[in-house]
Amino acid sequence: MVDPYTMAAQPAEAGGPAPHGPAQVAGAASSSLRHESAHLHVAGEARYVDDMPTPPNAVHVALGLSSRAHARIISMDLGPVQAYPGVVCVLSARDIAHHNQISSVGAGDEPLLAEDHVFFCGQPLFAVVAQTRHAARQAAVLARVEYEDLPTVLNIEQARAQGGALVCRSLEMTRGNAAQALANAPHRLAGQLTIGGQEHFYLEGQAALAWPGEDGEMRICSSTQHPTETQHMVAHVLGCPNNLVTVEVRRMGGGFGGKETQANIVACLAALAAARTGRPAKLRLDRDDDMMITGKRHDFVIDYDVGFDAQGRVLGVDMELAARCGWSADLSGPVTDRALFHADNAYYYPDVRLRSVPLRTNTQSNTAFRGFGGPQGAAAAERMMEQIAFATGLDPLDVRLRNVYGTTERNVTPYHMTVEDSIAGEVMTQLAQDCDYRKRRAQIREFNKTSRYLRRGIALTPVKFGISFTATHFNQAGALVHVYTDGSVQVNHGGTEMGQGLHTKMVQIAMREFGLPHERVRITATTTGKVPNTSATAASSGADLNGMAVLAAVRTIKDRLVNFAAAKWQVSPEQVHFTADGVVVGEATVPFATLVNAAYMARISLSSTGFYKTPKISWDSATGRGRPFYYFAYGAACAEVVVDLLTGENRMERVDILHDAGLSLNPDIDIGQIEGGFVQGAGWLTMEELFWDTSGRLRTHAPSTYKIPACSDRPRIFNVKLMENVPNREETIFRSKAVGEPPFVHGLAVLHAISDALASVDNYRTYPGLNAPATPEQILRVAERLRQQGGVGHAQVHT
């Protein structure tokens, strides 16, 4: 300890931490700590955009939406809107003096407000700015719009029938000669998988509050996953340089990809209203409007042709992955690319050709959603594995194990990246043992022999998920760390908190490095004013990228403090260590605050930025070759379900998951990501169904019609474990692995377990070919088809 007046170091107490060991702070990185805002969440004290005190002179914005899926606007009479009591002004495309364009990829195909055409039902036509939100909403429905309807393209089938216009380029990946491999294969089958989209249903809808400042400044609180892009879009629409716009995000009430680009619409319109009126302006979408306007997960139709041998080994694959992209490009290019990157899931395809077909349709512009196309690609791989198992009579698990990537051979992906870290086989094998997969499978088949209407099914599926943005330049991050003279620390970084615990992990990194308890480390709202030019918090990369940036900033400050302490107390820098008990300096231990204050007095800078860029990665979409991913995250899930053959109702009886988070930064938070990701994935593949009517109007635009899993839909028995002692082979932050998206793919086990239950209808002779979402209706249709195929009519079932 140190005498605070003399600064004289005193000997460390006996029994203290080993001077050379890591700082042993409870809750520091690599151990569990509760979410940094948990105490605020439970008390209703965590503020979201709509909870911020609204300035008294604020105006409120509501949107007028297109009622047609594709039409020319003949006329738009906004007189009645303007005349409604409380309306301040109405903004349409012609009121946007600068750029009415918010395509995040620069495609130039996404006007903020419709110009002379509308391209989907729900497209924003105009913005009403009023004294109250209620008045704005009331006025927004009063516009008189005349349309001239144009032909619509609503889904993949129609898009293909009408020429197959694309929103962006198609990608092709090839290795070897797929056509020849298929021709030579002893067995070959082809099929088609249809897989539905998904609404994000973040509990907090899209919202933004914009404050106009002096001299053209604009400050925006936005519920966005990508503050930098929101900043750029606002500046672009307002026609001002980026340095006038500051975007701030304390937290989001969920994002899941739905606020990566879609938040820009709301932020830009709030900013536009604020710029026009000179008053603070808030736009918070009503849930129905939110669901009508914003894009969703891409639905896919995947055609596959696979050759294999009698042992179920894949010899060649040819696959076409067509996606409904909606009316504009948005992120459909990288999303459909990632579907290709994951069309192998965990399996080696010796000869392969994959290509994407990103189709333009008159529907919401589909966008990022947890997994970003990857789960759809993985679904195709699992479909092939299951169908091969039927064709060969093998247990699907054995087919999967025979095709899984090796580490020294059979280890090159369709994009020519060598897989160096495959543990998918080990994970599946261990999980199968842990959850007694083979014994239960036999018991289930026995049960199904005598149960007439309730049938059980089981499946075990793996995931291998590539970690990094495939756009290489996004793999960078910045941080800004301040140490104040009282020894308290403030951490800022470019990532955003949407519930995934990113901020908690960033605090834990600083705790571990400085040896401080969590009370001494404060995380701030993410703001473009502190850390500029950031990437979206997406692609599971938040902790990987920002964690290393925070670490870099912290280590810069630490180095200065170490050098200062070494000089002051006449020890070598190697003799200075940051521990839970304080900073060990040679034989002495100095409280962190004391050291910091002394450093300040000696005019040492206590603030630093940090920067990180992911090494080793590269990707060339023109050649379809590269190393787009720094590493892969792995896992496996085993699901058991019961299905009612009279109604198609189904329930998850038991789910076991074994997942690889490397050396987890926070095991409790990571298990939360896995549990939540799994249920979200299972919801996507079972009950969540988007329904557009024949005019192109989305009819599932509220939770009354769009059903996400509720409490009783979780598995009745739910065991989630992290792989133990599996450090990331690459030098990630404390050897952890990304955990945001990979567990979402575990939902596939449920789809295949339902398929297994259905196969019993025809005594496991016919492949069910179950598509997603496997709603009760979809399940009943397959059951009826299998009854008829099996020559067992329904009438005979109960006679």
Task: Give dist(CA 158, CA 46) in Å, integer.
Answer: 46
Nearest-Å Rg of the Cα atoms of the chain is 28
Which C-beta is closer to other proteins: that of 316 or that of 773? Answer: 773
Q: Could you say whether residue 46 binds other proteins (CB under 8 A)? A: yes
Which C-beta is closer to other proteins: that of 62 or that of 272? Answer: 62
Which C-beta is closer to other proteins: that of 242 or that of 705? Answer: 705
Say if residue 773 is preceded by a cis peptide, omega within 30 of 0.
Answer: yes
Q: Could you say whether residue 792 binds other proteins (CB under 8 A)? A: no
Which H or E element spans position 228? Answer: helix 227-238
Contacting other proteins within 397-436 (CB under 8 A) = 436
Q: Could you say whether residue 95 binds other proteins (CB under 8 A)? A: no
- Print the SS3 string covering 98-147: CCCCCCCCCCCCCCCCCCCEECCCCCEEEEEEECCHHHHHHHHCCCEEEE
Contacting other proteins within 162-221 (CB under 8 A) = 200-205
Q: Could you say whether residue 300 binds other proteins (CB under 8 A)? A: no
Distance of CA 173 to the CA centre of its chain: 24
Which H or E element spans position 512? Answer: helix 502-514
User: If 0-12 CB within 10 Å is exposed, 13-18 middle and 19+ buried, where does residue 567 land?
Assistant: exposed
Task: Give dist(CA 218, CA 208) in Å, integer.
Answer: 12
Smallest gap from Cβ 342 to other proteins, in A, equals 22
Whether the Cβ atoms of residue 709 and residue 638 lie closer than 8 Å to each other: no
Helix (H, G, I), strand (E, B) or coil at 388: helix
User: In the set 219, 236, 250, 251, which binds other proteins (CB under 8 A)?
Assistant: 251
User: In the set 16, 19, 24, 51, which binds other proteins (CB under 8 A)?
Assistant: 51
Which of these segments, 88-96, 416-424, 459-467, 493-501, binds other proteins (CB under 8 A)?
Answer: 493-501
Task: Give dist(CA 14, CA 197) in Å, integer.
Answer: 61
User: In the set 100, 104, 123, 138, which binds other proteins (CB under 8 A)?
Assistant: 138
Which CA distances in Å does 614 have to 90, 228, 618, 739? 46, 19, 10, 17
Contacting other proteins within 370-389 (CB under 8 A) = none
User: In the set 573, 602, 691, 789, which binds other proteins (CB under 8 A)?
Assistant: 691
Nearest to 297 by CA among 709, 678, 697, 685: 685
- Beta-bridged to residue 311, according to DSSP, are none
User: In the set 6, 75, 408, 704, which binds other proteins (CB under 8 A)?
Assistant: 704
- Beta-bridged to residue 627, according to DSSP, are 618
User: In the set 82, 194, 705, 766, which binds other proteins (CB under 8 A)?
Assistant: 705
Whether the Cβ atoms of residue 316 and residue 181 lie closer than 8 Å to each other: yes
Contacting other proteins within 619-678 (CB under 8 A) = 640, 642, 644, 646-651, 653-654, 668-669, 671-672, 675-678
Which of these segments, 282-290, 360-368, 517-525, 622-630, binds other proteins (CB under 8 A)?
Answer: 282-290
Contacting other proteins within 742-781 (CB under 8 A) = 775-777, 780-781
Smallest gap from Cβ 682 to other proteins, in A, equals 9
The separation between the first and the last C-alpha atoms of the chain, rounded to the nearest angstrom, is 86
Smallest gap from Cβ 627 to other proteins, in A, equals 32
Contacting other proteins within 496-555 (CB under 8 A) = 498-501
Cβ within 8 Å of residue 9, ≥6 positions away? 2, 569, 585, 586, 587, 588, 589, 590
Smallest gap from Cβ 680 to other proteins, in A, equals 7
Q: Could you say whether residue 40 binds other proteins (CB under 8 A)? A: yes
State both tokens at 137.
Answer: 């909403």
- Print the SS3 string covering 476-492: EEEEEEEECCCCCEEEE
Which of these segments, 210-218, 306-314, 333-341, 715-723, binds other proteins (CB under 8 A)?
Answer: 715-723
Which C-beta is closer to other proteins: that of 82 or that of 563? Answer: 82
Q: At what angle do helices 437-450 and 424-434 cross, to 10 degrees?
A: 60
Smallest gap from Cβ 751 to other proteins, in A, equals 16
Give alpha helix (H) positions in 224-345: 227-238, 263-277, 287-293, 332-341
Active-site annotation holds for 741: yes
User: In the set 454, 471, 566, 792, which binds other proteins (CB under 8 A)?
Assistant: 454
Which C-beta is closer to other proteins: that of 597 or that of 680? Answer: 680
- Which residue in the list 640, 730, 741, 784 is annotated as catalytic? 741
Which of these segments, 341-349, 359-367, 449-457, 561-569, binds other proteins (CB under 8 A)?
Answer: 449-457
Residues that bind other proteins (rule: CB under 8 A) add up to a total of 101
The sheet carrying 588-590 orders its strands as: 576-579, 582-585, 588-590
Contacting other proteins within 116-135 (CB under 8 A) = 134
User: In the set 43, 408, 409, 603, which binds other proteins (CB under 8 A)?
Assistant: 43
Active-site residues, by number, are 741
